[in-house]
Amino acid sequence: MALAHRPEEDWNLHAPTLCHGFGGLLQMTQRMYAESGDDQLNVVRERLAWRILESFDRNTPFGFSEVIKTEHETSVLHSPGLLQGAAGTVLALLGLCSTQEPEWDQVLLIT
């Protein structure tokens, strides 16, 4: 898997969330790992999980926040939601704690 060998700066991800963030990449990687058992995917999975956990901030309303970067500015969105919020981020992490296939990610159409 090429991602395992690319520097994190080249991933173009800025937030722990599902939508265009580390959480979404983690969920897709988790699904691929569950199907294949590929050791490289496991390394990427662990790397993504640590990256998400490192972004936790107890001083924000929900612990995890969406970071939106444009060419001219960076803004932060505090949301409890699924795609751009803490709920989706936590669901992606929760997937690492179970061998049971999740049903919630069917809404992402990656199953």
Please say whether the beta carbons of 32 and 41 come within 8 A: yes
Q: Model confidence over 41-88: pLDDT tens digits?
A: 999 999 999 999 999 999 999 999 999 999 999 999 999 999 999 999
Closest CA to 15 of 45, 58, 43, 56: 56
pLDDT of residue 91: 96
pLDDT of residue 110: 81
Domain positions in the chain? 12-96
Please state whether the predicted TM-score (pTM) of the whole model is above 0.85.
yes
pLDDT of residue 3: 75
Helical residues (DSSP H) of 20-60, grouped into ranges: 22-36, 39-54
With a cut of 80, say whether residue 1 has pLDDT above it. no
